[in-house]
């Protein structure tokens, strides 16, 4: 590993960079040509829950820099339509229709309402964190609720919904609703998700 000499980096940043450069998922993503190590979280979720089978229409919420969409392109059997959206720019990915927008915007909503329903909706959305535990939990819940409502509206029967949330509070009514609307509901922390992160994925399998 190259020595980290940049004097402008403070101690914490140097530590982060040192860990990042040694991280096996970072090294693997470079070999497999994925834009980020996050790719392996979706790969693991699929290995456990088999969510890619028979998917013809997929939606990737919070897609930047684009590794989940890259996994979808690689793993889903064509012909498949993949739509991806993020507030940030996502460099083009062949076979993926990319939007730079808020996924809750009226414009995006109007667009997807014109499409056939999806067989798979994945959300790796992370709102900007403030560091204040309760505020951050509420923000992430708000995003999860929006994505869940969209999934109930735009998923085919038999379709799956996967969404990141943060294990800092109770999913409450959303979990009750998910169990009514899907055949199986699980929470799953992939090995690729850093141990010190409170992120976890809600996997809602087969919409009824």
- Judged by DSSP in three states, 97 sits in strand
Give the number of C-alpha atoms closer than 13 A to the C-alpha of residue 42, restricted to the C-beta side.
Answer: 30
* Least distance from ligand SAM to the Cβ atom of residue 90, Å: 8
The answer to the question of residue 120 lying near ligand SAM (CB under 6 A) is no
Count of residues near ligand SAM by CB under 6 A: 22
DSSP codes joined into one string, 9-46 = S-HHHHHHHHHHHH-HHHHHHHHHT-SSTTHHHHHHHH
Is beta strand 96-100 parallel, antiparallel or unpaired with respect to 81-86? parallel
* Least distance from ligand SAM to the Cβ atom of residue 208, Å: 27
User: Which of 57, 64 has the CB closer to ligand SAM?
Assistant: 64
- Applying CB under 6 A, the span of 18-26, 60-68, 151-159, 185-193 interacting with ligand SAM comes to 60-68
- CA-CA-CA-CA torsion sign (47, 74, 100, 117): negative
Told to judge if 164 belongs to the known catalytic residues of this protein, a careful annotator would answer yes
The answer to the question of residue 36 lying near ligand SAM (CB under 6 A) is yes
The answer to the question of residue 46 lying near ligand SAM (CB under 6 A) is no
The answer to the question of residue 67 lying near ligand SAM (CB under 6 A) is yes
The answer to the question of residue 127 lying near ligand SAM (CB under 6 A) is yes
CA-CA distance, 109 to 156, in Å (whole number)? 16
- CA-CA-CA-CA torsion sign (187, 192, 194, 199): negative
- Applying CB under 6 A, the span of 23-31, 36-44, 152-160, 172-180 interacting with ligand SAM comes to 36-44
The single residue of 14, 31, 53, 164 carrying the catalytic annotation is: 164
Is beta strand 155-166 parallel, antiparallel or unpaired with respect to 199-207? antiparallel
Q: 86, 96, 185, 190: which one contacts ligand SAM (CB under 6 A)? A: 86
User: Which of 10, 123 has the CB closer to ligand SAM?
Assistant: 123
Which residue do the tokens 């800092």 mark? Answer: 168
The answer to the question of residue 51 lying near ligand SAM (CB under 6 A) is no
- 8 Å CB contact between 59 and 122: yes
Q: Which residues are catalytic?
A: 164
């Amino acid at each position: 590993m190259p020595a980290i000499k940049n004097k402008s980096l403070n101690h914490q940043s140097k530590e982060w960079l040192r860990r990042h450069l040694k991280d096996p998922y970072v090294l693997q993503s470079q070999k497999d040509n994925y834009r980020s190590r996050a790719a392996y979280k979706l790969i693991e979720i699929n290995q456990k829950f088999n969510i890619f089978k028979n998917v013809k229409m997929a939606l990737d919420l919070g897609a930047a820099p684009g590794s989940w969409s890259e996994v979808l392109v690689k793993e889903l059997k064509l012909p498949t339509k993949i739509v991806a959206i993020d507030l940030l720019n996502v460099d083009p990915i062949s076979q993926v229709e990319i939007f730079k927008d808020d996924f809750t915007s009226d414009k995006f909503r109007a667009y997807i309402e014109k499409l056939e329903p999806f067989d798979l909706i994945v959300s790796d959305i992370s709102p900007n964190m403030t560091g204040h535990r309760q505020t951050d939990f509420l923000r992430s819940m708000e995003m999860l609720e929006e994505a869940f409502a969209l999934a109930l509206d735009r998923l085919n029967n038999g379709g799956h919904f996967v969404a990141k949330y943060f294990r800092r509070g109770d999913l409450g009514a959303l979990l009750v609703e998910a169990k009514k609307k899907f055949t199986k509901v699980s929470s799953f922390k992939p090995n690729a998700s850093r141990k010190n992160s409170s992120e976890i994925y809600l996997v809602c399998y087969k919409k009824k």
